[in-house]
Amino acid sequence: MASRKLRPQRRNPATWTSCGVLALWLLASLPLNAQSPLAGWSDTPSREAILRFIDTTVDPTRETFIEPEDRIAVFDNDGTLWAEQPAYFQLLFAVDRARAQLAEDPSLESRSPYREIAADDLGALLAGGHDALFKLVFATHAGRSTEEFRREVLDWLASARHPGSDRPYTKMVYAPMLELLDYLSARGYRNYIVSGGGVAFLRAWSEDVYAIPPERVVGSRMELSYQAGETPLILRGDALAHVNDGPGKPVGIQQIIGRRPVLAVGNSDGDFEMLRWTTTGDGPRLGVLIHHTDGEREWAYDRESSIGRLDRGLDAAPENGWIVVDMKNDWRRVFPD
């Protein structure tokens, strides 16, 4: 018996149109949570408020609609997007760089900060305050080209491990915050990092880890200079051009971004001015504080901490309408699997 060829049935174009309209209507009428946004977050008022803000500001039928060009979201990095204990990771990078320099030139041990590094006395170094830390940064970050410094950062990240978890530092990022970055991007927001950390350190890896390109990173900056030659270079100097912390954060945002954000996320009093400046602008605004309350999966600290101290922020959150995200209760998980 000859095989029978099945020929596709022809449909009336009007039928196809009706089916398409029905399909689009069904998709549009699905509740947003059917797509499981922020799946790593617990179903709490904090998650609901964040999603409500995002979704209502991208809906052109609402009074709270924000034009695409104004959808600027800024995020602190240390303690907000990745961990910051037992010390800022850039500081740990600087310590490792100092150890490498000592191995090449043991005579450096006669002076600070190398003396403290050789004695493995990070406490004494931290006791010296900002001046001692700046001295360490200048000693390990200055006098090299921007390309050379970037390679040093990437080489360190490829081999170094967190002293507590033994994870690579790029795996000490917060999984729920990665979800928030992705969701904002999908809804037409532009995400920026606004950190007190060094901008060159962050720009070396921010795109790979956060999908935030270098031009969207605002941080503390060292002075740079141009060196002519057969292959011209940009050299890192030994003086600070801008400290991007506290009141320096709004200044840095204005200098680099040129627009007041509508959403700001931080975790410490170093982010206070950034949140205040963001949330006191016209139109819909949102401020979010990440509160470190999970001593089992991460660390528990706030008002008395020497790192990530959150005192003014907790007091000011209610009157400013800022969301305080409780890591223990609001996050299903902390780090990526």
Q: What is the pLDDT of residues 149-204, one digit of tens each?
A: 999 999 999 999 999 999 999 999 999 999 999 999 999 999 999 999 999 999 99
Written as one string, the DSSP assignment of 261-275 is -SEEEESSGGGHHHH
Q: What is the pLDDT of residues 96-115, one digit of tens each?
A: 999 999 999 999 999 989 99
The pLDDT confidence band at residue 306, using thresholds 50, 70 and 90, is: confident
pLDDT of residue 147 exceeding 80, the answer is yes
pLDDT of residue 4 exceeding 60, the answer is no
Q: How many CA atoms lie within 13 A of 318 on its CB side?
A: 1
Beta bridge partners, 286, equal 263
pLDDT of residue 32 exceeding 90, the answer is no
pLDDT of residue 31 exceeding 70, the answer is no
In the predicted model, what is the mean pLDDT of residues 30-53? 84
Q: What does the angle CA 308 – CA 309 – CA 311 come to, to the nearest 5 degrees?
A: 145
Pair type for strands 217-227 and 233-242: antiparallel
Residue 239 sits at φ, ψ, to 5 deg, of -145, 150
Tokens for 257?
A: 């971004």
pLDDT of residue 60 exceeding 60, the answer is yes
In the predicted model, what is the mean pLDDT of residues 249-260? 98
pLDDT of residue 2 exceeding 80, the answer is no
In the predicted model, what is the mean pLDDT of residues 35-40? 86
Q: What is the pLDDT of residue 114?
A: 93
Burial readout 246-260 (b: 16 or more C-beta within 10 A, e: otherwise): bebbbbbbeebbeeb
Q: What is the pLDDT of residue 35?
A: 58
Q: What is the pLDDT of residue 303?
A: 94
Distance CA 202, CA 216 (A): 10
Residue 72's contacts (CB-CB under 8 Å, 6 or more residues apart) are 189, 190, 192, 257, 259, 260, 261, 262, 263
Distance CA 184, CA 136 (A): 37
In the predicted model, what is the mean pLDDT of residues 36-49? 96
| Residue that wins the pLDDT comparison between 321 and 3 | 321
Q: What does the angle CA 190 – CA 191 – CA 192 come to, to the nearest 5 degrees?
A: 125
Q: What is the pLDDT of residue 174?
A: 98
Q: What is the pLDDT of residues 196-235, one digit of tens each?
A: 999 999 999 999 999 999 999 999 999 999 999 999 999 9
Burial label, 194 (beta-carbon count in 10 A; 0-12, 13-18, 19+): buried
The pLDDT confidence band at residue 10, using thresholds 50, 70 and 90, is: very low
**pLDDT > 70: what percent of the chain?**
90
pTM, rounded to two decimals: 0.88
Distance CA 247, CA 242 (A): 11
Determine what percent of the chain falls in helix, strand and coil, rounding each to the nearest 5. 45, 15, 35
